[in-house]
Amino acid sequence: MHSLAAVLPVLLAFLAGSAQATTCNATNPCPSAFPCCSEFGFCGTDAFCLGGCNPLASNSIDSCRPNPICQDATHTFANFNRILTNATYFNGNASEYDWVVNSGTIMNTNVSGGELAMILTENNGGTRLSSTRYVHYGTITARLKTGRWGGVVTAFITMSDIKDEIDWEFPGAATTEGQTNYFWQGVIPSGPNNGQTTKGLSDTYSNYHDYTIDWQPKTLTFSVDGKVVRTINQADTVDKSGVSRYPNTPSRIQLSIWPAGIASSAPGTVQWGGGMINWQDPDYLAAGHFYALVKSVVVKCGDSAQRTGEVQAYKYGSNATSQTPSIAMTNQTTLLNGAGPTLGSAMSFRGAMATVAGLMIAAHIL
């Protein structure tokens, strides 16, 4: 599923003056003057070359900055020192921040020693955070409490720059269930019931559960509180032409709350999310927002044993196998040169607004 919140950073990037209105995809890569294809499919420089930059749609396969390498970590949220609250200002230094806020608002509710509250309001389009480091196979466990409101979706996913994706998602109308899914290069691999529902959880709004994505080269396993609920074998994802339709590229960890139940969503998205959001809900009126809470995220890298020296990043290379780029470790820097946005006028404010409005509509047709 694709969130409204996901398109908001496009506006920020346009205003930062580093973008060109040119769209990009694998068949129409970016020109050399604006070499990097952002996660939203627009060419630019600076922030466009960081998290989400698509190497296969950029000017050359090394136009994007390499992906900061995985580090084993236990992320907790007693304070937000390790979170950059505006991703526009990220300079690629993953030693400085563990997370960036791509859109929306975070709060520290500090009910039991500190947790991350992701905020959804009628106007903010939801909240999304991305890890600054990538995982190239590994075990990731998020301890979280979901929303409990129809149309409000809580999500914990991994997402690569070429849109390999692994999801735990929680439509808020069903607080005893979680849904799992995976994508290969932006498409749901063929086969029945790719998305599955895990039922019988104790109230996911009131109780913390540990949701795990255990992503290994040969198996993808989803667990709740240490109990396996679903296993996918890579071997079963190979199609008739021999292409492995299995997530296999370095991925950021993303945490989000987003509005599925709004007028601009496709009818299927509204239904899936549990109906239209009731902005008169007593919880919303009392708090002034909807929210989801994250207590911790534990990362165990799957590729630590393969490293030699002080490698800093992952980089893409030519195909390892059919339609699957190779991934190598590199010592190349992940930093932007002139870090930080330069305010300019690559395009007019009106133009940027029109583009973003178009993207918002597009995002909800998906």
Ligand X SMILES: *[C@@H]1O[C@H](CO)[C@@H](O)[C@H](O)[C@H]1NC(C)=O
The tokens for 128 are: 């999304």
The DSSP string of 226-285 is TEEEEEEEGGGGB-TTS-B-S--S-EEEEEEEEE-SSTTS-HHHHHHHTSS--TT-HHHH
Work out whether strand 251-259 and strand 152-160 pair parallel, antiparallel, or are unpaired: antiparallel
Quote the least distance from Cβ 148 to ligand X, whole Å.
24
Beta strands 83-84 and 99-103 are parallel
Shortest approach of ligand X to residue 88 CB, angstroms?
A: 4
Residues with Cβ < 8 Å from 187, sequence gap 6 or more? 245
**HSE (CB half, 13 Å, CA atoms) of 183?**
17
- Binding residue for ligand X (CB under 6 A) from 33, 78, 188, 228? 78
96: contact with ligand X by CB under 6 A: yes
Range in contact with ligand X (rule: CB under 6 A) among 128-136, 145-153, 194-202, 302-310: 302-310
Angle at 278 between CA 275 and CA 279, to 5 degrees: 145
**Which residues, 126 to 145, sit near ligand X by CB under 6 A?**
none
Dist. CA 139–CA 3, nearest whole Å:
25
Q: What one-letter code names the amino acid at 185? A: Q
Q: How many CB atoms lie within 10 A of CB 229?
A: 19
Taking the complex as a whole, the smallest distance from the CB of residue 185 to ligand X amounts, in Å, to 11
Say whether 169 is catalytic: yes
Of residues 68 and 178, the one with the C-beta less far from ligand X? 68
Write the DSSP string, 182-197: EEBTTBPPSSTT-SEE
Q: Based on CB atoms, which residue is closest to ligand X, 51 or 274?
A: 51
Taken as a whole, the chain contains a residue count of 366
- 3-class secondary-structure state, position 353: helix
**Tokens (6 digits) for 232:** 């996918």
Among 60, 95, 196, 206, binds ligand X (CB under 6 A): 95
Q: Which is nearer to ligand X, 11 or 224 (CB)?
A: 11
**Per rule CB under 6 A, is residue 311 in the interface with ligand X?**
yes
Q: Which among 78-86, 186-194, 224-232, 285-293 is the span making contact with ligand X, rule CB under 6 A?
A: 78-86
Of 189 and 273, which has the nearer Cβ to ligand X?
189
The count of chain residues that interact with ligand X, using the rule CB under 6 A, is 33
From the candidates 96, 122, 169, 177, give the one annotated as an active-site residue: 169
Position 326 contacts ligand X (CB under 6 A): no
Question: Considering the complex, what minimum distance in angstroms separates the CB of residue 281 from ligand X?
Answer: 24
Q: How far is the CB of 364 from ligand X (least distance, A)?
A: 18
Distance CA 317, CA 69 (A): 16
Q: What count of other Cβ atoms lies within 10 Å of the Cβ of residue 73?
A: 15
User: For ligand X, which residue of 23, 197, 234, 278 counts as binding (CB under 6 A)?
Assistant: 23
Catalytic residue among 96, 122, 165, 177: 165
| Interaction of residue 60 with ligand X, rule CB under 6 A | no
304 lies in the binding site for ligand X (CB under 6 A): no
Interaction site with ligand X (CB under 6 A): 12, 15-16, 23, 25, 27-28, 61, 78-79, 86, 88, 93, 95-96, 108, 110, 113-114, 308-311, 318-319, 322-323, 325, 329-331, 335, 341
Indicate which residues carry an active-site annotation.
Answer: 165, 169
